[in-house]
Amino acid sequence: MGIILETSRLILRGWQDNDAASLFKLASDERVGMAAGWPAHESVGYSRAVIRTIFNKKEVYAICLKGGNDEPVGSIGLTLTGSRERPLMDGDAELGYWVGVPFWGRGIATEAACEIIRHGFEDIKLRRIFCCYFDGNVRSKRVQEKCGFVPYAVNENTYIPILKETRKEYVNVMCAPKCR
């Protein structure tokens, strides 16, 4: 099953095939994916495919409420390997997260992000964590501010292949406590 991380209110655990219906219920709401740069899910089968591919990585977690029914309310993870579009140096990672609309405004993304950041710096020994948001995504901007990220760069024309569109992207960074 992999690593399980916990906070006072949350359990962060690996995604499982049987989470597909829960994922679809949350990710089929256009407000979630479009803000993050991906299309709304159109079927449980598509959600299952996302779990088996995109979410089937070492540091990607389902966000679940403690005392609940173990049903995911969102997703969070660290990307440890870069790509041509998003190069990362050794010791760097990129944080990504989203929370389903019924759970907005409860501090869940901030709480989960703080735990992932702690895990990244203390357990994985990362040097820097980057986190991005698209212009207009005020919720994600606030989460990053609350967690202590600082501005790093602005990409005026970030192309999002899956949506076939270009957006303005803000890139923030946080250094490991020993680098501050």
Cβ 153 vs Cβ 131: under 8 Å: no
Residue 176, exposed/middle/buried by CB under 10 A (0-12, 13-18, 19+)? middle
86 confidence band (pLDDT: 50, 70, 90): low
Beta bridge partners of residue 129, listed in sequence order:
93, 174
Picking from 10, 175, 30, the residue whose alpha carbon sits closest to that of residue 100 is: 30
2 confidence band (pLDDT: 50, 70, 90): confident
User: What is the rounded average pLDDT of the residues 134-150?
Assistant: 96
8 vs 177, which has greater pLDDT?
Answer: 8
Picking from 130, 131, 154, 152, the residue whose alpha carbon sits closest to that of residue 141 is: 131
d(CA 144, CA 149): 5
Question: Hey, where are the domains in the chain?
Answer: 5-179
Architecture in CATH of 5-179: 3-Layer(aba) Sandwich (3.40)
User: What is the rounded average pLDDT of the residues 95-118?
Assistant: 97
